[in-house]
Amino acid sequence: MLVTLRDVPAEAEIISHQLLLRGGYIRRITSGIYAYMPLMWRVLNKIKKIVEQEMDAAGALQTLLPQLQPADLWRDSGRWQTYTAGEGIMFNLKDRQGRQLGLGPTHEEIITSIAGEIIHSYKQLPINLYQIQTKFRDEIRPRYGLMRSREFIMKDAYSFHSNEKDLKDTYNKMNTTYKQIFSRCGLKTVAVEADSGSIGGAASQEFMVTADAGEDFILISPDGNYAANQEKAISKPPKALSLNPSEPKLIDTPNQKTIEELCSENGLDPSQIVKVLALLASIENGEKHPVLISIRGDQELNEIKLINTLKTEIGKEVLGVTPITQEQLNLQGLSNWPFGSIGPDLEDSNLNGSKNWKTKFLRLIDKTAAELNCFVCGANKKNKHRIYMNWSLLGGTPIEVDLRKAKAGDFCCHNENQKLQEKKGIEVGHIFQLGRKYSEVLETGFTNEVGTQERFWMGCYGIGISRLAQAAIEQHHDEVGICWPISIAPFEVIVVIANIKDSSQKELGENIYLELQAKGIDVLLDDRAERAGVKFKDADLIGIPWKIVVGREAEKGQVELIKRLNRETKLLSTEKVIEKMFKETSGYRK
């Protein structure tokens, strides 16, 4: 079943995807859906075995939950709308009775419901249940092979606790367990603070494989004491250039709708400007909340931080935020707004008469803007701005929060002598402290020591099994192919018979193959009737860690042993090569 490709498939944008296709590990069925071929299945099984061993050692219990989930449970948790209409990532359907179902991208609702039915007392806690199974996400743009596919293999675990301290203890144990899993898989990972997203909870941490092909940006301090996903990262920006206070006045700013144009025409620096973003927040129940964001002109808005803030301020699930446009104003029957010259004090009366928007702005200000003592801002009149303004002249600062996007070059919060560095990362694991989010909305709990009912404290812990396999290739490859870590390689050794028509080579190669098998070593025999060069290239491409070449020295009972990683070559006797292979692979047969 091994069919390798010499040319790079047009669909493959990154090296790991290219090598998986060229090496015959996966076959594309349709967009975002792949078949795992025999070599790939061996890799995945080795990863799963490592995960199972470490999770079992940490006291978790393996289970298997249904892929089809009833919509009612997701409606009870408040996530059905988010996953089917908001983010739109859940495949959903109706059965023949007309009941709505979803293909599970995650299993918090199912496991919380089960726990509520079978756990009744604090004496049954804590418990940590995990599974390894296929998950589904209706990705808008599947790409990068198994990195962002619509069907994937995942390990997800869910823990239940009687108190927050016990939850944190398990969270820390999972942190240690995950580091051990990734180390055994041969991956170098960085643990970073992360946003909890639609999963929710008080705290979460991602495990990233740093790679040029990563889709996530992570910010890391040079001393290694701080690392966070850019969605979550905090930092101290460069100080704003001071603007000497003077009598506030209006300035004409014709055709100056961008920060760059405003600065260029008036000799200003972006850090001296308060820019105002007019946005519309979509709420789970169909409400539309107009929002005004004030932020320093040289800073960018972090949309994830904004959505999390809006959830807190509004007290409801926020499906997304979009800029308010003139077309939207026209649909609402509202008069024109001075886009390009909007100030923090744009009056609520501008919302009067709207058809289905809230008629009062939710006003938020980023800390960078709040710290300015003298600044320039829009005058709420077309082609007009105000200079030498301060917050007291505007009636005080709105609600002050951290809304800016941290970036490389910003100063670290824990050490102002260090600046954040940016790297790309591939997420291979994520752990969450869910708290009581799901147990409260699904009304599940236990009887505590004094006989009263309490809600569960919960944790959630995920590893992308199929994604991890491809991420390993991003870290372990060279110009000719994959260099698998031996612990997850499909085979530990490949025996290549250079000339299958040579009886001495054929006999010696087959004998070595059988002896290695007898010693419990994962060994692959290439006895195809192909040219030796083709076999050597295929062996390098598929990335088996050790290659034994049975060639012209076979009559002398000698073979070449080649290490895939550095191509170090030795000429050894049959006995020595078998002894060497047993020694090199013995540490991976747990």
Kindly tell me if the per-residue pLDDT of 185 is higher than 90: yes
Lowest average pLDDT, out of 297-306, 313-322, 374-383, goes to 313-322
Q: Residue 376: its pLDDT value, please?
A: 96
Q: Is 226 left (phi over 0), alpha (psi -120 to 50) or beta?
A: beta
Q: What is the band of 2 on the pLDDT scale with cuts at 50, 70, 90?
A: confident
Exposure of 62 in the CB half-sphere (CA atoms within 13 A): 12
Report the helix count and the strand count for the chain, using DSSP H and E.
15, 31
User: What is the residue whose two structure tokens read 């199912």?
Assistant: 110
Q: CA 551, 554, 558: angle at the middle one, nearest 5?
A: 100
Given a contact cutoff of 8 angstroms between Cβ atoms, the answer to whether 295 and 368 are in contact is yes
Q: Are the beta carbons of 388 and 245 closer than 8 angstroms?
A: yes
Q: Considering the entire predicted model, what is its pTM?
A: 0.85
Cα(432)–Cα(410) distance, rounded to whole angstroms? 27
For residues 223-235, give the mean pLDDT: 88
DSSP string, 361-389: -EEEEEHHHHT-SSEEEE-SSTTEEEEEE
How do the residues of the chain divide into helix, strand and coil, expressed in percent and rounded to 5?
30, 30, 40
* Domain spanning 491-588: CATH 3.40.50.800: yes
Q: Which fold has domain 249-401?
A: YbaK protein (3.90.960)
The answer on pLDDT for 590 being more than 60 is no
- Amino acid 17: pLDDT: 96
In this structure, which amino acid lies at residue 33? I
- Contact between residue 271 and residue 371 where contact means Cβ atoms under 8 Å apart: no
DSSP calls for 74-131: HHHHT-HHIIIIIS----EEE-TT--EEEE-S--HHHHHHHHHHH--BGGG--EEEEE
pLDDT of residue 319: 82
For residue 16, pLDDT over 70 is answered with: yes
Mean pLDDT across the chain, nearest whole number?
93
* pLDDT classification of 197: cutoffs 50, 70, 90: low
pLDDT tens digits, one per residue of 488-511: 999 999 999 999 999 999 999 999
Question: Residue 200: pLDDT band by 50, 70, 90 thresholds?
Answer: low
Residue range 554-563: mean pLDDT, rounded? 94
pLDDT in tens, 21-73: 999 999 999 999 999 999 999 999 999 999 999 999 999 999 999 999 999 99
Domain spans, the chain: 41-67+104-210+430-473, 249-401, 491-588
pLDDT digits 0-9 by tens, 108-157: 999 999 999 999 999 999 999 999 999 999 998 898 999 999 999 999 99
Over 70: is that where the pLDDT of 589 sits? no
Name which of 49, 28, 46 is nearest 37 in CA terms: 28
CATH superfamily of 41-67+104-210+430-473: Bira Bifunctional Protein; Domain 2 (3.30.930.10)
